[in-house]
Chains A and B, each alone.
Chain A
Amino acid sequence: MAEKESREIATKEKQQLTKPQEQTRPGRYYVPDVNIYEFDDSLKLWADMPGVKEKDVNVTLKDGVLTIVGQVATDMYAGLRPMYTEYNVGNYYREFSLNEDIDDSNIKATLRNGVLELELPKKEQARPRRIEVRSA
C-alpha cells in the first residue's frame, strides 16, 4: 500500500458566474479561486486562471473596485473530438471592492503557470505607521 501523503490536493468544482451580466461574446464565465494576503505596504492577490495567456488578462481598478478578467484560449481545441470530459472551459471574471487606498498607477500583474499574481501597493497614507509614544 502506498504511503499516506501528509496533505492531498482536493478538486473543487468550478463555480459558474451567475451574476447577470452583458457580454459581447456568448459563453460561460467562471469565478476564479483567489488568495488575498495583506502586507505592510501592499495587498497581494493570486487567482487561478488555467488556460489563460498573458495577453488575454485584463485588470482594472476603478472607484475602489478591482476587476479581473481572463479570456481562455480555445485555439488548441481545433479539430479535436472529446472522448471523456470532467470540466468545462470558460473565461474568468471576478470583482472585489477594496477598502484599502491603492496606488493604482503602480499595480503589478504577472501570469505564471495559469496563476495571475497581482501586487497592489498601498498609498503612502494607507500604510501602517508606528506612532512614537512620548513620555511626559
Chain B
Amino acid sequence: MAFLRIDSDVDPFGTLLSLQEELERFMRNPAFAMGPSGFGAYPPVNIFDSPEGALVVAEAPGLDAAKLRVTGTGRTLTISGERVFKPDGNGLGYHRRELSEGKFSRSIQLPEDYEPANAEARYEAGLLIIRVPRGEHAKPRQITVQTA
C-alpha cells in the first residue's frame, strides 16, 4: 500500500496533486475492515492511519463550536452539531444562498485496533480533526525471550 509522500523539499509543486490522487484512489477502494460506507452523510470524513493511531478529518465549516459534540464508545465515534447562518442587520435580500444549514449527527465505525473513547478532537479552519489512539492490545510489544 502506498504512503502519502508530501515532502515540500522533494516535491515542491506536486504536493497538492499527489495528495488529491491518493485520496481519489481510496474513494474507490476503501481499506479493509472499515465497515459499511457512510458516503453522503454530513459531515464528509476522510480517515487516515498513522503510527500513533487514526486521524479522522471532517469538512464542516462555519459550525458553532459550543454545540459541537464528539463521543466515543467501543469502536464507534459519534459527531454531532449544528450550523446556523444568521447575518447581522436588516438585509435588502440575497443574491446567492448556497451554504448548508441545520443539525447533524453521524457515527463512524473504526477498525478494532483503535480506541474512540480516548480520542482527542479539535476544530480548526472549518475542519474537525479527531485523533483516535491505537488500543493497548494493538500496539507492538516486545516479548522477552527467556533462557533456561
Residues of A within 8 A of B7 (CB): 78
Q: Indicate with 1 or 0, residue by residue over A35-57, a CB within 8 angstroms of chain B CB atoms.
A: 11111100110101111110000
Within 8 A of A (CB), among B1-28: 1, 3-4, 6-7, 13-17, 19-20, 22-27
Whether the Cβ atoms of B23 and A82 lie closer than 8 Å is yes
Q: A81-B48, A82-B22 are in contact. Are A87 and B94 (CB under 8 A)?
A: no
Q: In angstroms, how far is the closest chain B Cβ from the Cβ of A18?
A: 15
Q: In angstroms, how far is the closest chain A Cβ from the Cβ of B1?
A: 7
Distance in angstroms between the alpha carbons of A12 and B6 in the assembled complex: 28
Whether the Cβ atoms of A50 and B92 lie closer than 8 Å is no
Judged by a CB distance under 8 angstroms, whether B97 is at the interface is yes
Kindly report which residue of chain A lies nearest to residue B45, judged by CB atoms.
Answer: A86
Distance in angstroms between the alpha carbons of A45 and B60 in the assembled complex: 18
Distance in angstroms between the alpha carbons of A106 and B96 in the assembled complex: 22
Kindly report which residue of chain B lies nearest to residue A33, judged by CB atoms.
Answer: B98
Contact partner of B126 (CB less than 8 A), chosen from A81, A91, A115, is A115
Q: A10-B102, A26-B17, A77-B48 are in contact. Are A53 and B125 (CB under 8 A)?
A: yes
Question: In which size bucket is the chain A interface?
Answer: 35 or more
Q: In angstroms, how far is the closest chain A Cβ from the Cβ of B7?
A: 7
Judged by a CB distance under 8 angstroms, whether B120 is at the interface is no
Q: A26-B17, A28-B20 are in contact. Are A35 and B99 (CB under 8 A)?
A: yes
Chain A residues within CB distance 8 Å of chain B: 2, 5-12, 25-28, 33-40, 43-44, 46, 48-53, 72-91, 111-115
A-B contact sample (14 more), CB < 8 A, given A35-B96, A38-B95, A87-B45? A5-B103, A8-B104, A9-B103, A9-B104, A35-B94, A49-B61, A80-B48, A83-B34, A83-B111, A85-B23, A85-B47, A91-B16, A114-B59, A115-B126
Chain B residues within CB distance 8 Å of chain A: 1, 3-4, 6-7, 13-17, 19-20, 22-27, 30-31, 34, 37-50, 54-55, 57, 59-63, 65, 82-83, 85, 87, 89-105, 111, 123, 125-127, 129
Jot down 19 A-B pairs with beta carbons below 8 A, ordered by A: A5-B103, A7-B101, A8-B103, A10-B102, A11-B100, A27-B16, A33-B100, A34-B96, A35-B97, A35-B98, A50-B60, A50-B127, A74-B6, A83-B30, A83-B48, A84-B37, A85-B46, A86-B38, A86-B46
